[in-house]
Amino acid sequence: MEINCRHFKYLELVLLTFYAVAFYVILIRRSLHLSHEYLVWHGSATPRNFVQGWLWGRPNDLTDSQWRNFRGNLPILTVVMGVFTFVANTLRSSFQLKGRGMSIVWLIISLSYLAYLHGACILFILSIASGNFILVKIFAYSKLFPCILWIYNLSFLICNRIYEGYSFSSIGQNWAILDSYRGTFRWHICYNLVVLRMISFGCDYHWVYRASRIDHKKHTQNCSTCSLGKACYHLLQEKSVPMERFSFVTYLCYLIYAPLYIAGPIASFNAFSSQLDLPQKTHSVKNIICYGVRWVLNLLLMELMTHLFYYNALATSGFWRHSSAFETFVIGYGVLNFMWLKFLLIWRYFRFWALMGGVEAPENMPRCINNCYSLEDFWKGWHSSFNKWLVRYIYIPLGGARRKLLIVWVVFTFVAIWHDLEWKLLSWAWLTCFLWVPEILVKLAMTNIQAKGMFRQLILRELSAMIGAFTITGLMITNLVGYVIGPAGLDWLKSRMLKPDGLPVLGSIYFTFYVGTKIMFHIREAKRKSPNGLIGSERKRNVM
């Protein structure tokens, strides 16, 4: 029976792989055709925010402002990274700097970096941060402290957006001259990450005498990193640091630490301050170099994508409104993959910078977007450090798993407001919650099902694949609404897909995601059976 089961799964994997290859061949051909049509649509003129590319003379799609800015500033960023790392590491080794000494070095260099980015607007950041520090020191032992901390930080988060970072002239005419020195980068955009660090500092200080949520002995036995005498990120985050670490200098250093300032990843105060004495030991020099080489290869992949497939231009220009139902799917699927690769490159660049300076931060993209078939898996693998922050500072304090069905609404509403004050982001957040609630209920029901026997296991596997395909379809629609077409485009999408020519396409999309989910099952099973599968799963469970 076991041999027949293995034979069936092998045959299934062959058929699924054949279908997946055929699907991607069709997808690539159609993407190339759409990109060509887009250039024809624009005529002889080069589309806006396109540049002459270096691959085969094709135009390069730089219509995504975030990617365009990052790519354009990559040379100067790399110079800054080299100078920062060389100076900080040289001073650390020459003077054996630890704790407060290392904080001062990082703080001085980071302030110089911020002065270039924000000019005189650095005063706004320092003023708000100082107010938060005073508030924490005064009210940290009050039962009302969490409410005070959140109200203070959310108020500034919203006001910064409404007033576009304020103006010095609003303070007084004597200050108006400073409006001419606002730097090269809007400070209130970077403030979104600063506010997460200010809340982290306040909560970690508030919890300094609270018992740890993890069993350190059991954790060390099960964690492949800690069992080697090192400390994994999860342990660094959960273990409180001495009170003297909660100084103003260390606090400011944590808020504006240059490698993690612009885009993260987001590290908790406990994890960051515990690495001031000694550089991280989890990743060797060889591993860090390999990490950098992989980043360069990913950059080349992005260059290939933006030269061949103009997904972002097709979406933002409204070209998708003139496309067929299948072509709309191709554009939407391409945009999501473009976004994933864009954020992977940005986040991994700054994490690489932090690792070279001896600070470990969580990996933001630990799993490919095409290897997720549940919302929980997706959000653990997309901006993973933000997910850890949400779990530690919102999800668990509000009740955790006991109130999961209610807390997801609070969490995603905060995520939407944190990103920006836009209705389409709130629509994205609430659509995601609508999808998540059924998934939670289904998972609770399936945990009570005892799948005994090969036939029952097969039925349960098929049901899981069908549910996974439904989740992926819904996830794709919600992200399209949130980041591409907006709430108004949802009606257009429904009208296009529910037409007679759209229903077969919708069915094909669902079946394709069903096939993808089944392939993911095979990948997970192969990893579990591999020699390193158990270690990898244990590490992931402890880090998550």
pLDDT, one tens digit per residue, over 6-17 is 777 788 888 999
* Closest alpha carbon to 352 in 300, 290, 302, 301: 290
Average pLDDT over the chain reads 85
Cβ pair 450, 505 in contact under 8 A: no
Q: Is residue 194, in this structure, part of any structural domain at all? A: yes
Task: Look at the alpha carbons of 477, 419, 340, 441 in this order and tell me if their dihedral is positive or negative.
Answer: negative
Q: Which residues of 78-93 are buried (b: 16+ CB within 10 A; e: fewer)?
A: eebbeebbeebeebbe
Per-residue pLDDT averaged across 420-448, rounded? 78
> Would 71 be classed as within a structural domain?
no
Task: Give the tokens for residue 447.
Answer: 């945990």
- 3-class secondary structure, 368: coil
Cα–Cα distance measured from residue 229 to residue 220, given in angstroms and rounded to the nearest whole number: 9
Q: Is residue 141 part of a domain?
A: yes
Q: Which pLDDT belongs to residue 345?
A: 96
- The answer as to whether 484 is a domain residue is no
Residue 145 counted as domain residue: yes
Task: Give the integer Cα–Cα distance in Å for 23 and 484.
Answer: 23
Q: Count the alpha carbons within 13 Å of 235 in the hemisphere toward its beta carbon.
A: 21
174 found inside a domain: yes
pLDDT at 485: 64
The beta-carbon contacts of 243-248 under 8 Å, at least 24 apart in sequence, are 243/208, 245/99, 245/273, 245/274, 245/276, 246/201, 246/205, 246/208, 247/100, 247/103, 248/133
Give the mean model confidence (pLDDT) for residues 373-384: 82
Q: Total structural domains in the chain?
A: 1
- What's the rounded Cα separation, in Å, for the pair 287 and 292? 9
The residue behind tokens 């342990």 is: 235
Q: Which H or E element spans position 5?
A: helix 2-42
Q: Choose the most confident range, by mean pLDDT, from 55-64, 189-198, 308-317.
A: 189-198
pLDDT (mean) for 418-445: 80
Our CA dihedral for 422, 368, 396, 398, rounded to 10 degrees, sits at 30
User: Tens digits of per-residue pLDDT, 416-428?
Assistant: 999 887 877 888 8
φ and ψ of 160, to 5 deg:
-60, -40
pLDDT at 536 over 50: no
Is 414:474 a contact under the CB 8 Å cutoff? no
Share of the chain above pLDDT 70, in %: 88
**Which region among 161-175, 207-221, 317-331 has the lowest average model confidence (pLDDT)?**
207-221
Contact partners, residue 355, CB within 8 Å, separation at least 6: 280, 283, 288, 291, 361
Q: Is residue 135 part of a domain?
A: yes
**Across 144-148, 228-232, 352-356, 523-527, least confident range:** 228-232
- Domain-located, residue 529: no
**Is residue 542 pLDDT above 70, yes or no?**
no
Sign for the CA dihedral angle at 445, 516, 425, 348 comes to: positive
User: How far is 467 from 520, CA to CA, in rounded Å?
Assistant: 13
User: How many residues are there in the chain?
Assistant: 544
pLDDT above 70: residue 1:
no
Please give the pLDDT value at position 77.
Answer: 93
Arithmetic mean of pLDDT, 442-471: 74
**Which segment of 19-23, 39-43, 54-58, 407-411 scores lowest on mean pLDDT?**
39-43
CA distances in angstroms from 529 to 16, 28, 519, 520, 537, listed in the order given? 20, 33, 16, 14, 11
Q: At which residue do the structure tokens 């940005």 appear?
A: 346
Contacts of 264 (CB under 8 A, 6+ apart): 193, 347, 350, 361, 364, 385, 386
Alpha-carbon gap, residue 216 to 239, rounded angstroms: 9
Angle (CA) 113-119-121 rounded to 5° is: 110
Q: Is the pLDDT of residue 544 over 50?
A: no
Mean pLDDT, to the nearest integer, of 365-382? 83
Residue 325: CB atoms within 10 Å? 19
126-140, 197-211, 381-395 — which one is most confidently predicted on average? 126-140
Which residues form the domain of 174? 99-274
Peptide bond connecting 146 to the previous residue in cis, omega within 30 degrees of 0: no
pLDDT at 67: 93
